[in-house]
Chain A
Amino acid sequence: MLDVRDFLPFIVVGVAAGSVYGLAGLGLTLTYTTTGIFNFAHGALAAAAAFVFFTVHVDWGWPWPVALAVAVAGVGVIGGLLVERMSRSLSTTDAATAVVATVGLLLAVQGLIQWRYGTAARQLAPFLSGTAVHLGGVAVTRQQAATVLVGAAATAAVLAFLRFSRLGVQMRAVVGNPDLLALAGTDPAPVRSAAWIIGSGFAALSGVLIAPFLGLDAGLLTLLVVQAFGAVAIGRFRSLPLTYAGGVALGVAANILIKQFADRPALAGLPSSLPFIVLVVALVLWPPRAVGRVNAAPVDPERVVRRFAARSRWLAVAAGVAALVALPHLVGPKLPSYTAAAALVVMFVSLALLVRGSGQISLCHAAFGAVGATAFSHFASSSGLGLPWALALVLAGAAAVPIGALVAIPAIRLSGVYLALATFGFAILMERVAYPTGVMFGATGSRHAPRPALAGGDTALFYVTVAVAVAGCLLVVAVSHTRLGRLLRGLAESPTALTTNGLSTNVTRLAAFAASAFLAGVAGALLAAAAGNVNGRSFASFNSLLYLVVLAVAGRRLVRSAVIAAALLAVAPAYVPDSLVAHQALLFGLTTVALISLRGASIPTRTSRAEERLATSPVRARLAEQGASA
């Protein structure tokens, strides 16, 4: 017999936590509906505010209301204006660039926090002490009561603001048609700035409120406030009251599940993953329509691309082969970094196949890698099936294919930012629910991955990994020249055209995800073999974010950008001081933010070859001449 009183303590905690999710979700929905840019860095801003609050309240000893005001106003204004600056160069570009930009900001903010405060988690004591009220025998702390009250008050305030104030009405108008608002004499830019500042202020407030419950951990705060995504999905990315109600409901449901699963440790990861499950399921079942206009990346005809002559290309290939053969003898003890880089080339080329080749965004590539790595361990290690190394490698890739096909389900229904969200939700689910199971990394959290029998040494392993990487690159290049490659390119630019010309694009998307997952699985196995032992941390969901951002920073060519990205991520750290290596993510995040805010760079969903054709087309040159003479 269920007794409500048993659940009451969990419901109280759930309502308090849920209020914070609702609050965070509210800020997210407000900025998204007003600007059309979905801010992945929302949770990172919340974390930043919690740390500012810690410094001002605990380190400096200022009273908590002042510290709260400083944190919310500071992060709200600085963060808000920063995102606004970035979003200004984003509004005319494509969805992929918007995702990369805000994920880059997430990495930058999170990196800054770790640079300033270190990675060790700290505790933040509740800044309100004592019990506010007793509810059916359960003591509700003043902290919990204040959290709920502040959440409800802020929600009411923002709703009233949008309904009755002039700026609020303008905010709603910006969503509908910014050009029309500009014609009516209102500059949409300050309205957008205001929305970003309010939204970031909400993130900051939620960060400060949840920190006493969770502790001060940049990664955890970023992710847990990202649970607001679940609330946002319930609000269908539009409705503010529903978003808030959804946040509260999620908080309560998750805490009731914690009670239900208390005696079943296998399911311990489930309650905290509930918001991500809700997010993925809601996105797939009720795919939302995109807010605002999603424009294709503008094609810059001024772009001049130099082509290698055929002969110098062969010379380059010969030089590259010679360099790779000589490399182990030149770099000495740094060779393992190069081996890891070769493995990462496969990972990046697999991601590039999706992002560059077909305009689909994946934020779960690390999870594909984890499946490949653990499957490889089962197939190849002597304690497992003990299959031949090469066969195990191929089977590891094959093991990731069903997972890729599973992710293709959201890909069929969603595109752009929603696909990015769904895949990110999936990555976190895999990390929390699947990684700890015995099939994957298990309770010990580690798996052994053997080297090939014939290539036990570091040098031999390097050659083998490079050979597989070259094969992977050739495979992707080959695919981009086949019918599937052409169809995927068409899919990136005009899916409607392909559908109305008889192509079942679901099958095409499925094929793209399956191929990409296969390569990512192989990459995971290679990484595992290079390291000897792997754990879930090597394939954390955070890595998926890093992969996308680094690939975006690395350039526009299909294969070349994959090689550069792998070098940046794995080789460069061997040559810079350790103090810099620790802040790798910060550097990549800052680079992305700088590139996008300063140059308005776009992360093209097509390879540069397409643009090269545009720039160098002889007919185009002739047309330009005619235009000039006319």
Chain B
Amino acid sequence: MTAPEVAGARVAGLEVEELTVRYGGKTAVDGLSLAAPLGRVTGLIGPNGAGKTTTFGAVSGLVAPAAGTVRLFGQDVSRRSAAARARLGLGRTFQQPELCPSLTVKDNVALGCEALAAGGNPWRQIVPRRKETARLREQAAAALTACGLTDLAEVPVAALSVGQRRLVELARVHAGGYRMLLLDEPSSGLDPAETTRFGAIVRQLVAGSGAGVLLVEHDMSLVMEICDFLYTLDFGQLIFAGTPAETRASAAVRAAYLGDGDAAFQAAEH
């Protein structure tokens, strides 16, 4: 599987080769290879249980794969910890948002920045650099504005809907300035207006800072709209790779999606 070419030159973002993940005897991801270059939105789609979230786990370093290589910006990070991958510029969101419920929206986003600034340095975990805390707070405030969360800044996350929590997670990766983003079903739980805003934020991130995005998503109209390239998984295996138009036309993908997904495809076409 070759990565798409961007203006003739391949821009290395995230590259996965022959990734295999097993849970006990069950193979969740089977020899998956994919590439999500910088400056592009790459989609990872497939029916429930296809192995999309597992792939995210292995790429971000939270799940130990049985085999395979993960390269980030050309560097092999297969043996690096999740924290080390984040420090290289890999940010991610979760299907079940990972936030601190008792902290406010603002504090959650700021804490993300602070975690990144503290990193692995014992001294920096205790004492921030001069004026760093104030700078991080500004960074967080800017991300809140970009994600339309200013009004909710002082609200504790425990009081938010799931959709709002997803936006908080998005603001957190936004504030962290990550160059490669893994977004896990960001639009589920969002209302149509929030989904539109979300699509705009992602496009702006990619166009503005040249970040790369790997997106797991069930909302087919959103996928078709914002993705440049799509990988389709079924039962842990790659069944199709191509542009949104090619994917929509693929018989194999339609077969895998037969059922409600098929309806989703048709809805996306009209």
- Stretch of A98-106, A170-178, A321-329, A607-615 at the chain-chain interface: A607-615
CB of B227 closer than 8 Å to a CB of A: no
**Once the chains bind, are B102 and A299 in contact (CB under 8 Å)?**
yes
Do A482 and B159 contact each other (CB < 8 Å), given the known contacts A494-B99, A503-B116, A504-B81? Answer: no
**Once the chains bind, are B125 and A494 in contact (CB under 8 Å)?**
no
**Once the chains bind, are A496 and B154 in contact (CB under 8 Å)?**
no
Chain B residues with Cβ under 8 A from A614's Cβ? 102, 156, 158-159
Interface range on chain B (Cβ under 8 Å from partner)? 35 or more
In the bound complex, what is the Cα–Cα distance between A510 and B125 (angstroms)? Answer: 11
Quick one: which of B82, B91, B102, B159 contacts A610, CB cutoff 8 A? B102
CB of B62 closer than 8 Å to a CB of A: yes
In the bound complex, what is the Cα–Cα distance between A484 and B115 (angstroms)? Answer: 10
CB of B51 closer than 8 Å to a CB of A: no
CB of B94 closer than 8 Å to a CB of A: yes
**Once the chains bind, are A619 and B114 in contact (CB under 8 Å)?**
no
Chain B residues with Cβ under 8 A from A500's Cβ? 60, 62, 82-83, 86, 91-92, 98
Chain B positions 79 through 120: 1 when the CB is less than 8 Å from some CB of chain A, otherwise 0: 001111011000110100011111110011001111110111
CB of A391 closer than 8 Å to a CB of B: no
In the bound complex, what is the Cα–Cα distance between A499 and B102 (angstroms)? Answer: 18
Q: Which residue of B lies closest to A610 (CB)?
A: B102
B141 to A: closest C-beta gap in Å = 16
Report which residue of A484, A490, A493, A504 has the largest number of chain B beta carbons within 10 angstroms of its beta carbon: A504
B65 to A: closest C-beta gap in Å = 17
Within 8 A of A (CB), among B197-222: none
CB of A114 closer than 8 Å to a CB of B: no
Chain A positions 493 through 515: 1 when the CB is less than 8 Å from some CB of chain B, otherwise 0: 11011111111110110110000
Quick one: which of B101, B103, B120 contacts A296, CB cutoff 8 A? B101
**Once the chains bind, are A619 and B101 in contact (CB under 8 Å)?**
no
Quick one: which of B82, B91, B155 contacts A619, CB cutoff 8 A? B155
CB of A606 closer than 8 Å to a CB of B: yes
In the bound complex, what is the Cα–Cα distance between A510 and B111 (angstroms)? Answer: 19
CB of A560 closer than 8 Å to a CB of B: no
Within 8 A of B (CB), among A291-333: 296, 299, 301
Q: Which residue of A lies closest to B176 (CB)?
A: A501
**Once the chains bind, are B126 and A483 in contact (CB under 8 Å)?**
yes
Chain B residues with Cβ under 8 A from A493's Cβ? 99-103
Do A507 and B115 contact each other (CB < 8 Å), given the known contacts A299-B101, A613-B102? Answer: no
Chain A residues with Cβ under 8 A from B133's Cβ? 483
CB of B127 closer than 8 Å to a CB of A: yes
**Once the chains bind, are A504 and B83 in contact (CB under 8 Å)?**
yes
B61 to A: closest C-beta gap in Å = 8
Chain B residues with Cβ under 8 A from A510's Cβ? 122
**Once the chains bind, are B86 and A502 in contact (CB under 8 Å)?**
yes
**Once the chains bind, are B98 and A494 in contact (CB under 8 Å)?**
yes
CB of A620 closer than 8 Å to a CB of B: yes
CB of B74 closer than 8 Å to a CB of A: no
Chain A residues with Cβ under 8 A from B156's Cβ? 299, 613-614, 617, 620
CB of A432 closer than 8 Å to a CB of B: no
Q: Which residue of A lies closest to B160 (CB)?
A: A623
In the bound complex, what is the Cα–Cα distance between A493 and B84 (angstroms)? Answer: 21
In the bound complex, what is the Cα–Cα distance between A482 and B114 (angstroms)? Answer: 11
CB of B172 closer than 8 Å to a CB of A: yes
CB of A81 closer than 8 Å to a CB of B: no
**Once the chains bind, are A487 and B100 in contact (CB under 8 Å)?**
no
**Once the chains bind, are A502 and B119 in contact (CB under 8 Å)?**
yes
Do A501 and B91 contact each other (CB < 8 Å), given the known contacts A617-B154, A619-B152? Answer: yes
Q: Which residue of A lies closest to B172 (CB)?
A: A501
Chain A residues with Cβ under 8 A from B87's Cβ? 502
Within 8 A of B (CB), among A572-630: 606, 610-611, 613-614, 617-620, 623
Q: Which residue of A lies closest to B81 (CB)?
A: A504
CB of B128 closer than 8 Å to a CB of A: yes
Chain B residues with Cβ under 8 A from A503's Cβ? 83, 115-116, 118-120, 125
**Once the chains bind, are A507 and B112 in contact (CB under 8 Å)?**
no
CB of A238 closer than 8 Å to a CB of B: no
**Once the chains bind, are A606 and B102 in contact (CB under 8 Å)?**
yes
Within 8 A of A (CB), among B14-68: 60, 62
Quick one: which of A499, A508, A613 contacts B86, CB cutoff 8 A? A499
Chain B residues with Cβ under 8 A from A502's Cβ? 83, 86-87, 115-116, 118-119, 176
In the bound complex, what is the Cα–Cα distance between A619 and B92 (angstroms)? Answer: 28
Chain A residues with Cβ under 8 A from B108's Cβ? 497
**Once the chains bind, are B126 and A623 in contact (CB under 8 Å)?**
no
Count of inter-chain pairs, beta carbons less than 8 A: 131
Quick one: which of A299, A494, A507, A606 contacts B122, CB cutoff 8 A? A507
Q: Which residue of B lies closest to A515 (CB)?
A: B126
A97 to B: closest C-beta gap in Å = 16
Chain B residues with Cβ under 8 A from A611's Cβ? 102
Chain B positions 154 through 192: 1 when the CB is less than 8 Å from some CB of chain A, otherwise 0: 111011000000000000100010000000000000000
Do A619 and B102 contact each other (CB < 8 Å), given the known contacts A499-B83, A500-B86, A511-B122? Answer: no
**Once the chains bind, are B98 and A487 in contact (CB under 8 Å)?**
no
**Once the chains bind, are B100 and A497 in contact (CB under 8 Å)?**
yes
Chain A residues with Cβ under 8 A from B126's Cβ? 482-484, 511
Do A496 and B118 contact each other (CB < 8 Å), given the known contacts A296-B101, A617-B155? Answer: no
Chain A positions 389 through 426: 1 when the CB is less than 8 Å from some CB of chain B, otherwise 0: 00000000000000000000000000000000000000
**Once the chains bind, are A497 and B112 in contact (CB under 8 Å)?**
yes
CB of A489 closer than 8 Å to a CB of B: yes
B118 to A: closest C-beta gap in Å = 6
Chain A residues with Cβ under 8 A from B122's Cβ? 507, 510-511
Q: Which residue of A lies closest to B89 (CB)?
A: A502
Do A496 and B62 contact each other (CB < 8 Å), given the known contacts A504-B83, A606-B102? Answer: yes
Report which residue of A499, A606, A611, A613 has the largest number of chain B beta carbons within 10 angstroms of its beta carbon: A499
Chain A residues with Cβ under 8 A from B111's Cβ? 486-487, 490, 497-498, 501
Chain B residues with Cβ under 8 A from A610's Cβ? 102-103
Q: Which residue of A lies closest to B111 (CB)?
A: A490
Chain A residues with Cβ under 8 A from B94's Cβ? 496
Within 8 A of B (CB), among A504-534: 504-505, 507-508, 510-511
Within 8 A of B (CB), among A424-482: 482
In the bound complex, what is the Cα–Cα distance between A284 and B98 (angstroms)? Answer: 26
**Once the chains bind, are B127 and A482 in contact (CB under 8 Å)?**
yes
**Once the chains bind, are A617 and B125 in contact (CB under 8 Å)?**
no
**Once the chains bind, are A487 and B99 in contact (CB under 8 Å)?**
no
**Once the chains bind, are A504 and B104 in contact (CB under 8 Å)?**
no
**Once the chains bind, are A497 and B120 in contact (CB under 8 Å)?**
no
**Once the chains bind, are A511 and B125 in contact (CB under 8 Å)?**
yes
**Once the chains bind, are B115 and A490 in contact (CB under 8 Å)?**
yes
**Once the chains bind, are B158 and A497 in contact (CB under 8 Å)?**
no
A231 to B: closest C-beta gap in Å = 24
Chain A residues with Cβ under 8 A from B101's Cβ? 296, 299, 493
In the bound complex, what is the Cα–Cα distance between A563 and B94 (angstroms)? Answer: 40
Q: Which residue of A lies closest to B153 (CB)?
A: A619
In the bound complex, what is the Cα–Cα distance between A272 and B74 (angstroms)? Answer: 54
In the bound complex, what is the Cα–Cα distance between A344 and B11 (angstroms)? Answer: 60
In the bound complex, what is the Cα–Cα distance between A619 and B115 (angstroms)? Answer: 26
A506 to B: closest C-beta gap in Å = 8
Q: Which residue of B lies closest to A620 (CB)?
A: B159
Chain B residues with Cβ under 8 A from A620's Cβ? 155-156, 159
Chain A residues with Cβ under 8 A from B82's Cβ? 499-500
Chain B residues with Cβ under 8 A from A617's Cβ? 104, 154-156, 159
Q: Rank and list the top 9 A-B pairs by shortest CB-CB distance, nearest first.
A: A504-B120, A502-B86, A503-B115, A493-B100, A610-B102, A502-B116, A497-B98, A501-B115, A502-B87
Q: Which residues of B contact A (CB under 8 A)?
A: 60, 62, 81-84, 86-87, 91-92, 94, 98-104, 107-108, 111-116, 118-122, 125-128, 133, 152, 154-156, 158-159, 172, 176
Give me 7 A-to-B residue pairs in the complex whose CB atoms sit less than 8 angstroms apart, sorted by A's number.
A299-B101, A486-B111, A497-B112, A502-B115, A611-B102, A619-B155, A620-B159
Task: Add 18 more A-B contacts to A503-B119, A511-B122 (CB < 8 A).
Answer: A483-B128, A487-B118, A490-B115, A496-B98, A500-B62, A500-B82, A501-B91, A502-B86, A502-B116, A502-B176, A503-B116, A503-B120, A508-B118, A511-B125, A613-B156, A614-B159, A618-B154, A623-B159
